């Protein structure tokens, strides 16, 4: 059988986010986040699911870390809950919140698992949303206050820092309302994104001032590449261009790596009266040199303007999906090459999220026997390996997710975990994919004849 080996010291990981796994939403002084507020509005979350308890990792983190250790996982990507640390978003610090993260990170380190932490994974303190959230330029000041607390407390305990996870979620939450805070105002959404990107740049500057010994900082941007179903057909080309440059990854990668907004985006914003307020120096701030780029990748999509996007079934809402409009794993190769060629990204890349969801109506035994997930992940690793062979500097790979968790508007229905979570009992049961991934890590690669 053919062996596809990964570089020495390749960082095999798993990822989660605070709002999706921690639970303990109202314990030990934590303040509410926009996702707590949003999820309590009837009709916003599939089946009315609530993140109040989720996987209860707040109490069960030692158990989860033990499982990771048993699997040989080398790095855990998690996020901080801003409102657990600053219940009001700014001002008074909740020591119990800091204490939780100190215990959790220490436990990771004691088990030889590299902490990879995201400062912001979508859960703004509700108290700040009331003041306008990301649309209020004061967010820069608020975010820096929060970031400084994180860096002063955990700076060198965390090896890999990301300022933001998938900023597009902030756009979605303000432009079309599928995510918290649930607004539908594209102009405001564009201002939010602009301010967010300045927050990112200012945080990188702050990070440099702290002169931490070994920690690195970057940002995580998801890429869903769109390509026209019929290359050359005007409608399809336009559709893909819009999805890539105006309402997709171009919004972020251009200002981060090339400087400023792309011409296409500027033109679109001007013509549609969507221009954000831009202050002098903002574009320089946004493109601070980062130490790494975190890519979240799930699938690519094919745009056929004559067969408009089927209204996705409501059950499918909430993030990532697999359907016929997609082209799958080979799209990863396209993306990794595009990052290098188009955006000139020359810093190390981590694949900070990749995963496969199955849906909640199956019985437990079926969910545990998740060969479909293994097949998907294995093929991803094949294309990742090929990209690395081509000279793309990818240093690590994180499966989304360690365990089934609160999938935003998709509630608990969508299951991405290597472990099955029983939400009544909070038990975690390894799926077949957990054993498979442990083997991948042990062998530092995959062995298969499927892709020759
Ligand atoms: C990504 C999110 C992550 C999770 C996965 C399935 O877009 O970053 O929190 O929901 O999708």
Give distance in angstroms: CA of 319 to centre of ligand 1: 6
CA distance 192 to 183: 12
Tell me whether residue 166 is one of the annotated catalytic residues: yes
Please, which pLDDT band fits residue 324 given cuts at 50, 70 and 90?
low
Please, which pLDDT band fits residue 325 given cuts at 50, 70 and 90?
low
- Rounded to 5 degrees, what are φ and ψ at 122? 80, -5
Phi and psi based region of residue 316 (left: phi greater than 0; alpha: psi -120 to 50; beta: remaining): alpha
CA distance 409 to 259: 33
CA-wise closest residue to 269 among 254, 247, 284, 286 = 247
CA distance 14 to 10: 13
Q: Which atom of ligand 1 sits closest to the CA of residue 407?
A: 10
**Ligand 1 — pocket residues by CB below 6 A?**
17, 20, 165-166, 222, 296, 319-320, 353, 400, 407-408, 416
CA-wise closest residue to 243 among 256, 254, 228, 255 = 228
Q: Which atom of ligand 1 sits closest to the CA of residue 169?
A: 7
> Does 318 have pLDDT greater than 90?
no
Q: Whose CA is nearest to atom 1 of ligand 1?
A: 319
- pLDDT the model gives residue 301: 85
What mean pLDDT is predicted for residues 322-336?
A: 80
Angle, helices 139-154 vs 186-210, to 10°: value is 40
> Does 347 have pLDDT greater than 50?
yes
291 three-class SS:
coil
Give distance in angstroms: CA of 251 to centre of ligand 1: 18
What mean pLDDT is predicted for residues 285-302?
A: 95
181 three-class SS:
coil
> Does 389 have pLDDT greater than 50?
yes
Please, which pLDDT band fits residue 315 given cuts at 50, 70 and 90?
very low
> Does 396 have pLDDT greater than 90?
yes
Q: Whose CA is nearest to atom 4 of ligand 1?
A: 407
**What is the tens place of the pLDDT at every residue in 15-31?**
999 999 999 999 999 99
- pLDDT the model gives residue 419: 98
> Does 105 have pLDDT greater than 70?
yes
> Does 186 have pLDDT greater than 50?
yes
Tell me whether residue 148 is one of the annotated catalytic residues: no
**What is the tens place of the pLDDT at every residue in 243-291?**
999 999 999 999 999 999 999 999 999 999 999 999 999 999 999 999 9
pLDDT, greater one: 322 or 2: 2
Helices (H), 6-56: 18-21, 34-39
**Mean pLDDT value across the chain:** 95
Do 437 and 74 form a contact (C-beta atoms < 8 A)? no
What mean pLDDT is predicted for residues 404-429?
A: 96
Give distance in angstroms: CA of 159 to centre of ligand 1: 22
> Does 124 have pLDDT greater than 70?
yes
- pLDDT the model gives residue 317: 37
**What is the tens place of the pLDDT at every residue in 28-87?**
999 999 999 999 999 999 999 999 999 999 999 999 999 999 999 999 999 999 999 999
- Active-site residue (options: 22, 166, 245, 378): 166
Give distance in angstroms: CA of 213 to centre of ligand 1: 30
CA distance 273 to 267: 10
CA-wise closest residue to 431 among 355, 321, 318, 332 = 355
């Amino acid at each position: 059988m053919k062996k596809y080996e990964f570089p020495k010291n390749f960082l095999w990981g798993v990822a989660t986010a605070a709002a999706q796994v921690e639970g303990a939403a109202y314990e030990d002084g934590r303040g509410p986040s926009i996702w707590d507020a949003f999820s309590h509005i009837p009709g916003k979350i599939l089946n009315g699911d609530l993140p109040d308890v989720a996987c209860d990792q707040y109490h069960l983190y030692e158990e989860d870390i033990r499982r990771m250790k048993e699997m040989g996982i080398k790095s855990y990507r998690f996020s901080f809950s801003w409102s657990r640390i600053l219940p009001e978003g700014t001002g008074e610090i909740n020591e119990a919140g800091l204490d939780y993260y100190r215990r959790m990170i220490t436990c990771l380190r004691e088990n030889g698992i590299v902490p990879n932490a995201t400062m912001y994974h979508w859960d703004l303190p509700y108290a700040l949303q009331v003041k306008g959230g990301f649309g209020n330029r004061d967010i820069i000041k608020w975010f820096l206050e929060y970031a400084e607390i994180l860096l002063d407390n955990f700076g060198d305990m965390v090896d890999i820092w990301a300022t933001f996870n998938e900023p597009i979620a902030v756009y979605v939450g303000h432009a079309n309302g599928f995510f918290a805070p649930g607004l539908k105002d594209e102009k405001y959404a564009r201002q939010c994104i602009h301010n967010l990107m300045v927050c990112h740049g200012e945080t990188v500057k702050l990070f440099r001032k702290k002169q931490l010994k070994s920690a690195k900082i970057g940002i995580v941007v998801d890429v869903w590449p769109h390509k026209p179903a019929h290359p050359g057909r005007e409608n399809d080309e336009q559709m893909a261009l819009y999805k890539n440059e105006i309402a997709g990854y171009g919004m972020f990668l251009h200002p981060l790596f090339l400087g400023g907004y792309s011409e296409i985006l500027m033109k679109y914003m001007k013509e549609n009266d969507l221009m954000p307020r831009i202050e002098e120096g903002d574009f320089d701030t946004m493109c601070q040199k980062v130490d790494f780029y975190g890519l979240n990748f799930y699938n690519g999509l094919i745009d056929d303007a004559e067969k408009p996007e089927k209204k996705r079934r409501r059950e499918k809402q909430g993030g990532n999906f697999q359907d016929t409009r997609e082209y799958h794993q080979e799209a990863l190769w396209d993306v990794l090459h595009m990052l290098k060629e188009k955006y000139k990204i020359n810093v190390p890349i981590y694949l900070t999220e990749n995963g496969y969801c199955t849906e909640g109506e199956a019985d437990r035994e079926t969910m545990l026997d998740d060969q479909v997930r293994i097949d998907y992940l294995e093929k991803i690793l094949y294309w990742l390996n090929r990209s690395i062979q081509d000279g793309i500097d990818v240093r690590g790979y994180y499966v989304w997710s360690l365990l089934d968790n609160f999938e935003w508007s998709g509630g608990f229905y969508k299951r991405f975990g290597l472990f099955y979570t029983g939400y009544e009992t909070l038990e975690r049961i390894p799926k077949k994919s957990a054993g498979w991934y442990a083997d991948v890590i042990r062998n530092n690669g995959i062995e298969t004849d499927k892709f020759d």
